[in-house]
Amino acid sequence: MSDAIRLNVAGCRLGDGLDLGRRCKMCRNWVTYVAFARILRQNEKGWMRIACRVRALSERKTVSVETIGSVKKQIIQRVGFLLMDQFTLVSLSSAIDPLRVANSLSDNELYRWCLIGAGEGEQVSSDGVRVKLDYTLTDDVELDLVIVVGGIDIEQSVTKADLSWLRKQAQRGAQMGALCTGSYALASAGLLNGYECSAHWDCLTLLTEEFPGIDFNTHLYTIDRDRLTCTGGTVPLHMMLAMLAKRHPQSLVDGVADMLVCERHRSDAEMQVIPMWSRKVEVQPKLKEVLQLMEANLEEPLPLQDLADYVQLSRRQLERLFLKHLHSTPSRYYLKLRLDRARRLLKQTSRSIVEITSMCGFVSTTHFSRCYRKYMGVSPKGDRAQGVPEVYQIFESELPPEGAELAN
């Protein structure tokens, strides 16, 4: 067959190896275009099974890979990364590297990617690194998959030109994806309606309030039909591995994970954690349950006794757990969660202070403003006017008196 090279699986001893371009020294199988892709230990004696991989003609756009009992045609996937202003560089590299390694391990150009942005020739990441662009929004480029790479201040970064370009690519039939806060751009373009999707936890408040008709979840990533969305950080690596698994043999996916030193492929069912408390209460399931209840009931705070009853603890026992692991009383910690949500709403949405007061469980704007000033060191109106948030340290002595926080 001229257009493909047969995939051989050869059993060889570790150390004998494959001499690229020759025959295997152990089993003498012909391996002209074969190299290691995945090594699996067979038993304790160190015998190995080497799953050889295929290298087809690099100039061809369609690569045919023949395995025993199946033939699959693979077309080069053209992936475009739309870089928003102040995008997160780690999310971009975590998404690109799996594609690069997949090409390398298969000796084929399975994926071809490019960087696109509204800037003139380059885009600046959130850490100040300038990245050279391959195309701008005015260039006509055909893509199979478009991934928006978001970052900080996404609400201010998205422009009408970005949204128009995204809609145009979707109309052409491209799959759409988003990293970190990039889901905001897709949602603004109307491209997430009817889909389930994920986004960075810091952006979820903005998204759920501004786009109530879209099903945003708290999962690490979501692949829903032709939409791929994830939370950011290094999670794009796991989302791209899941995407590869839908198109390629598992041996290739495992090989990519090994090359990137990914010890465990995280599934899309895993939830992103709330960074304020997740590591502190990992071994305290009852405390974790209470914190999850608090997070889910910020608009109508639950009485402390109800929280204690739910996890079958006395109020005193619950208070001791909070003091031991979080160095705070339950009511003060509950107030902290509500005020943190209020700050995100102030910074990320155009909601009025009256609306935010109600959404965060405060009975009056006066009570809300007093608690906010005590905690943040600035009034809600003043904090919103400052734009970029400053970092404030919370001190127990600065909080309102015990009992005033949960007034209903």
pLDDT at 74: 62
pLDDT at 275: 52
Q: Does 296 lie in the same domain as 387?
A: yes
Helix, strand, or coil (residue 162): helix
Number of domains in the chain: 3
Q: Is the pLDDT of residue 68 over 50?
A: no
Name which residue leads in pLDDT, 142 or 3. Answer: 142
Q: Does 219 lie in the same domain as 115?
A: yes
Q: Does 393 lie in the same domain as 307?
A: yes
Q: How far is CA 63 from CA 35, 53, 76, 99, 228, in A?
A: 17, 13, 8, 16, 25
Write the CATH number for 359: 1.10.10.60
Report the mean per-residue pLDDT for the chain: 75
Q: Does 385 lie in the same domain as 354?
A: yes
267 belongs to a structural domain? no
> Which three-class secondary structure string do you get for 245-281?
HHHCCHHHHHHHHHHCCCCCCCCCCCECCCCCCCCCC
Q: Is the pLDDT of residue 52 over 60?
A: no
pLDDT at 282: 52
Task: Give the pTM.
Answer: 0.57
Q: Is the pLDDT of residue 221 over 70?
A: yes
269 belongs to a structural domain? no
373 belongs to a structural domain? yes
Q: Is the pLDDT of residue 46 over 50?
A: no
- 143-160 pLDDT, tens digit each: 999 999 998 888 888 999
261: burial class by Cβ within 10 Å (0-12, 13-18, 19+)?
exposed
CA distance 405 to 211: 30
403 belongs to a structural domain? no
Q: Does 292 lie in the same domain as 211?
A: no
Q: Does 212 lie in the same domain as 80?
A: yes
Q: How far is CA 158 from CA 150, 163, 164, 176, in A?
A: 9, 7, 11, 16
Contact indicator for 228, 239 with CB cutoff of 8 Å: yes
- 348-389 pLDDT, tens digit each: 777 889 989 998 999 899 999 998 988 878 889 888 887 544
Which segment of 40-44, 205-209, 211-215 scores lowest on mean pLDDT? 40-44
Which helix (H) or strand (E) segment holds residue 83: the answer is strand 77-83
68 belongs to a structural domain? no
Q: Does 25 lie in the same domain as 165?
A: no
Q: Does 304 lie in the same domain as 388?
A: yes
- 269-295 pLDDT, tens digit each: 777 755 554 444 455 788 888 888 888
Q: Is the pLDDT of residue 44 over 70?
A: no
CA distance 261 to 153: 32
Residue 320 sits in which domain range? 285-398
In the chain, the percentage of residues whose pLDDT exceeds 90 is 34
